[in-house]
Amino acid sequence: MLRHTPCLLAAVLSGTSTAETGQPDGLSAEPGPAPADRVARGIADESLRVLVQEALARNPGLKAGFARARAAAQKAPQVASLPDPTAEATAFLLPPETRVGPQRLMLGFSQALPWLAKLDLKEAAALQEAVALEREVQADRLRLVTDVRRLYYELLFLDRSRATVRRLLDDLDQHEEVAQARYATGVGSTQAVLKLQAEMTQASQELLNLDSREAALRARLNGLRDRPAATPVTRGTLPEAIGEVDLKPERLLDQARSVRPELQAADARLARADLVERLARMARRPDFRVGVTYTLVTSRDDDAARLLAIQGDGNDVFGLRGGVTLPVRKRSRAAAIQEALDLRSHAVDEKRHAELSVETEVGDLTERLPLAWRRLRLLEDLLVVQADEALESAEAGYIAGALNSLDLVDAEEVLFEALTAVDKARVDYLIGLAELEGAVGRPLPAPASGGTEQ
């Protein structure tokens, strides 16, 4: 693991996942694009794909996360370096007298030398924390892709709802003209006219409600891509026909386990906990300090020195220094080891929690999507057809005088609700597919119409 430190450091500092670099760090599932980029590239709707890519590039939360990961990566070279050496100087105000002369000045240079394995472990632990932070940002990117897609599909639903309401308004307007004509000829009643006008007012109010909901969705979507709230959102249309996606739950779960950034972040934190534990146990190993000294000695200036001609008079002194720490504080070392063990226990539980979250998310979506598909088919194949036939029958009966305006309005409302329900079911299915792709971390096989490319 330690031999891959430069590769991991370079990947984190570049703001990309090591999965994108293809470097073997023991965490990356496979070389290639990050899961968020892979899902984004598989989106068939060009307008949606552009929005997703813009959000990935501009979202300030993601930028902050990458900056934090890069900052954490800078910790690795700091803890891997030796401490700065120490230079010392001592000037003797009252020089000690020696046989060869008084000592005037002492210079020293020393270097602390920790047990070298400690530096390696500190570097690896710091880097694993940076990797975990970077993986968490990749998880945020994947969630952002899903959020943008969800808001986009909800906007498409509002567009279809607006078109359905306008169609209802056109039909009610035609019925109101007929009711006015019948009232003018004495065949109809004012109640029929007033009822139709009231329904038209409610439909107009529904258009205002749709505009209000669109403004809220647009503001949220623009917030994700760091744009002003009122910025227009370019979008396509809701697909008329959507094909069912063939889901294989076990295979999808295996894919999710292999690429989900949350699991890779949990692996990195577990690896860091192991390193911290090893470092804590290594605290019993001593650290060292080595150095050299130089002492300036001046010649003796006394009668005895001149008389005896002392050998080495005034010669300077050179020396070597060495020291070793004494790891005698057993209580602090025991506390550090227990802290590391608790940290590892936390990392193990966090990893299991992440695994359960992925399993639950994929399992829930693979169960609900087939039900959503059956609901869509029921609404589209039966309810809309029945509601359309009921409206045609009501219109014929109204023209023939067999039915009144209330029956006609009821038939219009049933068809309106059926069309709205079908559009909502389509959007729910598309959102479910988007959520499943986010849960799996890669595109699904493309439906027969719309959806995403494989």
DSSP-derived secondary structure for 55-110: HHHH-HHHHHHHHHHHHHHTHHHHHHSPPPPEEEEEE-SSPPEETTEEEEEEEEEE
- The dihedrals phi and psi of 130, each to the nearest 5 degrees, come to -65, -40
Q: What's residue 416's pLDDT?
A: 92
Q: Which residue has the tokens 């293809």?
A: 22
- In this structure, the dihedral spanned by the alpha carbons of residues 66, 72, 76 and 82, taken in order and rounded to 10 degrees, is 140
Tell me, yes or no, whether 210 lies in a domain. yes
Q: The pTM is what?
A: 0.84
Tell me, yes or no, whether 291 lies in a domain. no
Q: What's residue 401's pLDDT?
A: 72
Q: What's residue 428's pLDDT?
A: 96
Q: Give pLDDT tens digits for 58-93.
A: 999 999 999 999 999 999 999 999 999 999 999 988
Q: What's residue 207's pLDDT?
A: 94
Q: What's residue 314's pLDDT?
A: 67
Number of domains in the chain: 1
Q: How confident is the model at residue 177 (pLDDT cuts 50, 70, 90)?
A: confident
HSE-up (13 A, CA, CB side) for residue 256: 27
Q: Which residue has the tokens 């990356």?
A: 28
- The dihedrals phi and psi of 320, each to the nearest 5 degrees, come to -115, 145
Buried/exposed code over 214-245 (b: 16+ C-beta within 10 A; e: otherwise): beebbeebbebbebeeeeebebeebbeebebb
Tell me, yes or no, whether 321 lies in a domain. no
Tell me, yes or no, whether 334 lies in a domain. no
Q: Give pLDDT tens digits for 373-407.
A: 999 999 999 999 999 888 888 888 877 777 777 78
Q: How confident is the model at residue 8 (pLDDT cuts 50, 70, 90)?
A: low
Tell me, yes or no, whether 418 lies in a domain. yes
Q: What's residue 259's pLDDT?
A: 95
Residues 15, 57 contacting (CB under 8 angstroms): no
**Above 90 in pLDDT, residue 30?**
no
Over residues 199-221, the mean pLDDT reads 95
Residues 145, 34 contacting (CB under 8 angstroms): no
Tell me, yes or no, whether 333 lies in a domain. no
> 45 is written with which tokens?
């709707």
Residues 281, 337 contacting (CB under 8 angstroms): yes
% of the chain beyond a pLDDT of 70: 88
Over residues 332-357, the mean pLDDT reads 95
Q: What's residue 74's pLDDT?
A: 94
> For the domain that residue 223 is a member of, what is the CATH number?
1.20.1600.10
Q: Give pLDDT tens digits for 223-262.
A: 999 999 999 999 999 988 888 898 999 999 999 999 999 9
Residues 144, 158 contacting (CB under 8 angstroms): no
**What is d(CA 339, CA 280) in angstroms, rounded to the nearest whole number?**
9
Q: Select the highest-mean-pLDDT range: 176-180, 186-190, 403-407.
A: 176-180
Rg from Cα positions in the chain: 38
Over residues 338-355, the mean pLDDT reads 96
Q: What's residue 193's pLDDT?
A: 83
Q: Give pLDDT tens digits for 415-426.
A: 999 999 999 999
Tell me, yes or no, whether 96 lies in a domain. no
Tell me, yes or no, whether 297 lies in a domain. no
Query: What 3-state DSSP class applies to 226?
Result: coil
**Above 50 in pLDDT, residue 25?**
no
Please give the mean pLDDT across all residues of the chain: 87
User: How would you classify the pairing of strands 86-91 and 101-113?
Assistant: antiparallel
Residues 142, 55 contacting (CB under 8 angstroms): no
**Above 60 in pLDDT, residue 449?**
no
Q: What's residue 343's pLDDT?
A: 95
**Above 60 in pLDDT, residue 432?**
yes
**Above 60 in pLDDT, residue 22?**
no
Q: How confident is the model at residue 307 (pLDDT cuts 50, 70, 90)?
A: low
Q: Give the residue numbers spanning the domain of 146.
A: 2-85+116-285+344-440
Q: What's residue 303's pLDDT?
A: 60
